[in-house]
Structure 1
Amino acid sequence: MKRDLFMTLRVAIVGYGKMGRIRHEAMERHGGFEVVVACDTSQDPDANVAMVTDPLAVYDFNPDIIVCSVPNMMIPDVVCTALERGKHVFSEKPPGRSSGDVRRMIVAERAAKDRVLKFGFNHRVHDAIEEAKKLIDAGTMGELYFMRGVYGKAGGPGYAQNWRNDPAQSGGGILIDQGIHMLDLFQMFAGRFEDVQSYVQRNFWTDVPVEDNAFALMKNADGIVASVHSSATQWQHTFRLELYLRNGFVSVDGILSASGSYGTEVLTVALNRLDTSGNPIPNPESQELRFTEDKSWDKEITEFYDAVVKHEPLRCGTSQQALDVMELVERIYSADPEWHRILQDQTTLSDQAV
């Protein structure tokens, strides 16, 4: 539904695949955007928008906004060019292939001064996650002790040939592609994690040069511990986030997604009951809240619009959050000595090829 907005922003979408179209649809629902051009190597004659194949050609349409929905290795160039040309930018995650890519974009962001740069970490604004954050922030459940996260899927058809599994293009495998969302949520709830231990493995797709499983145990400066398992061999697609606090627990099972393969989002909350000695009684009664509509895409676009037009600060998807999570991804890769050696060998071979 169109809203009574006082400014319509002209948009160019660079990368008009699945995510580019999702962003286009969300902007149409918002009503404060006009998508004037899209860029992609494959042209869609049925696309309801002007199409070009050269990313620089989108600037001929005088956009206010660049939406960046390209593979990881292209993100820094697209983002930095847009900022240098005075455009606001909404970019997909991962934010490039490395923390160095993010630092490069931060330099361009600072030089652009009043331009907005937002990265699409939409899991932060899923309804179940937002409700969990409100409960914990209210303080009644006490201090946070530890978190567990599992985010996994089956690799699927064409997995080995997908660009996401070419480290030169993606920067890594299932951890940087999917597990990064769970790591971002960990840092949303508990801040930065510096102490990291990990096991990074290739179990099934042994001929693919990236990991298909990553296990990590991490601790922050306050002693909060988090464990994550990011997997491409989770044959039953799974999202589960558990947060255990002094007075109970909060968990989110399932996450609404474009594929619909992770099921309904279910928020479970339980408060401890104490016996006469003040000790918690096992298996406290829990309450469930189910969510059936994914509003995350619309929430992200609304926040982006308000940041551009109303100059409101970003809460989610800031460049600093992007840098923090990319540094954590790198610490997980590096914490496994064997995987660290494999990455070094791959980098050497890549440099020799150049």
Structure 2
Amino acid sequence: MSGLATSEGLCATGGGERTPLRVGIIGMGKVGRRRAAIVEAHPHLHLEAVCDTNPSCRKLFPDRRFHDHFPDLIADDLDIVFVCAYNKIAPQAVTMALDAGKHVFCEKPPGCCVEDVEAMIAAERRNPGLKLKFGFNHRYHYSVMEAKSLIDGGRFGKILWMRGIYGKCGGIQFENEWRNSAELSGGGILLDQGIHMLDLLRYFGGEFTEVQSVVTTSFWNIPVEDNAFAILRGGDVVAMLHSSATQWKHRFSLEICLQAGYIDLRGILSSTRSYGEETLTFARRQFEDETFAFGKPREETIFFDTDDSWSLEIEEFVSAIQNDTPIVSGNSQDALNVMMLIEEIYRQGGGRG
């Protein structure tokens, strides 16, 4: 089958080197261009073709095959398709690419609703030899990976509760962005940015089965939400979430309280650098000795000045293809579970705006 990433496409050459996997990217906006830069720098990938409805994007990639419509790119001779398009388009592009024999990397969110994810999972099951990964890059930030290591190591015991805040201020053109179009995006700030925090709450605390929420459009003149508040419970773990487009000073904050201490993630390195320094602070509880540190334990803070998250998640994707191993983070089950949470937050909170 044309474009199928079989062993022929992955075999070693006479010199022992792998033949680069042929990549096409659908959607050449900010995220698509960032993915393209990583693909072009990867020794086992080669960018063959790009697709965008904006013809000016052709000038950005003059040496690559250019397509105006995503079905044409999917029909191209490729091993991998990156889907970096509107949320509305993602399910159709992903299912079509999988059924055409391509591995697929799809940006978050995984479509607009649970039904979208279920359609993609059905295509994945029809093509068991192919890999499907979703872009939850926050899991690959060094502060997050360090926190995960501390938690899994058992140093501070089990998680009691978590409190996550992720917000931005919107901006002058915020009301006109496609992300705030109910038709193209399917939701507002929760689906666009809050999904990252929800994914991290699941990543650290496991699955949640109870949801209470309030969803509002409190400031911006948009048809979708600009704030979402949720309390989640799964087993003995309780988590609080605030996803906001009225956070006038950008903020990323995730507090994790455990039996014997706490972990505090503050700031996240981003392209805008507007969320402050990326830090991880942790400490053991010390209230047993009230004369020493009652309510003010000795803390240790680690600063992180490099964001390799985008490259690391692509590296895991490529490794899974080359070695035929399962997708560990950002797999279809992760996508389904986080979208089920989002839909329940919308349902309990009064809708998507």
Shared fold by TM > 0.5?
yes
Note if 1:219 corresponds to 2:246.
Answer: no
Question: Match for 2:27: what amino acid?
Answer: G
- Listed as ranges, the gaps of 5+ residues in structure 1 are 344-354
Shift in alpha-carbon separation, 1:276–1:321, aligned structure 2, 3 A: same
Distance in 2 between the 1:113 and 1:40 partners?
29
Which residue, out of 143, 146, 151, partners 2:158?
Answer: 143
Question: Match for 2:37: what amino acid?
Answer: E
Distance in 1 between the 2:290 and 2:242 partners?
37
Asked if the contact 2:267–2:275 (Cα under 8 Å) also holds between the matched residues in 1, the reply is: yes
Q: How does 1:109-128 map to 2 (within 5 A)?
A: 109-128=124-143
SS of structure 1 residue aligned to 2:94:
helix
Distance in 2 between the 1:50 and 1:261 partners?
35
Asked if the contact 1:30–1:301 (Cα under 8 Å) also holds between the matched residues in 2, the reply is: no
Question: Match for 1:226: what amino acid?
Answer: A
Structure 2 residue aligned with 1:23: 35
1:146-190: CA deviations, max 9, x gaps? 000000001112211211111122111100100000000011111
Structure 2 residue aligned with 1:163: 178
Asked if the contact 2:74–2:96 (Cα under 8 Å) also holds between the matched residues in 1, the reply is: no
Asked if the contact 1:240–1:253 (Cα under 8 Å) also holds between the matched residues in 2, the reply is: yes
1:276-308: CA deviations, max 9, x gaps? 599983110111111111100110110000111
1:205-234: CA deviations, max 9, x gaps? 1x31111111101110x2200001000000
Asked if the contact 1:7–1:309 (Cα under 8 Å) also holds between the matched residues in 2, the reply is: no
Asked if the contact 2:216–2:228 (Cα under 8 Å) also holds between the matched residues in 1, the reply is: yes
Q: Which runs of 4+ in 1 moved over 3 A?
A: 276-280
Structure 1 window deviating more from structure 2 (64-73 vs 269-278): it is 269-278
Distance in 1 between the 2:17 and 2:147 partners?
31
Shift in alpha-carbon separation, 1:187–1:279, aligned structure 2, 3 A: farther
Asked if the contact 1:142–1:245 (Cα under 8 Å) also holds between the matched residues in 2, the reply is: yes
Asked if the contact 1:198–1:217 (Cα under 8 Å) also holds between the matched residues in 2, the reply is: yes
Distance in 2 between the 1:56 and 1:73 partners?
15
Question: Match for 2:36: what amino acid?
Answer: H
Q: How does 1:52-71 map to 2 (within 5 A)?
A: 52-59=67-74, 61-71=76-86
- Listed as ranges, the gaps of 5+ residues in structure 2 are 1-15
Question: Match for 1:243: what amino acid?
Answer: I
Shift in alpha-carbon separation, 1:282–1:61, aligned structure 2, 3 A: same
1:311-349: CA deviations, max 9, x gaps? 12211110000000000001111112xx24x77xxxxxx
Note if 1:184 corresponds to 2:199.
Answer: yes
Note if 1:232 corresponds to 2:245.
Answer: yes
**Residue 28 of structure 1, CA deviation:** 2.3
Distance in 1 between the 2:322 and 2:340 partners?
31
Structure 1 residue aligned with 2:316: 303
Identity, % of aligned positions: 44
Shift in alpha-carbon separation, 1:61–1:147, aligned structure 2, 3 A: same
Q: How does 1:26-37 map to 2 (within 5 A)?
A: 26-37=38-49
**Residue 94 of structure 1, CA deviation:** 0.2
Structure 2 residue aligned with 1:321: 334
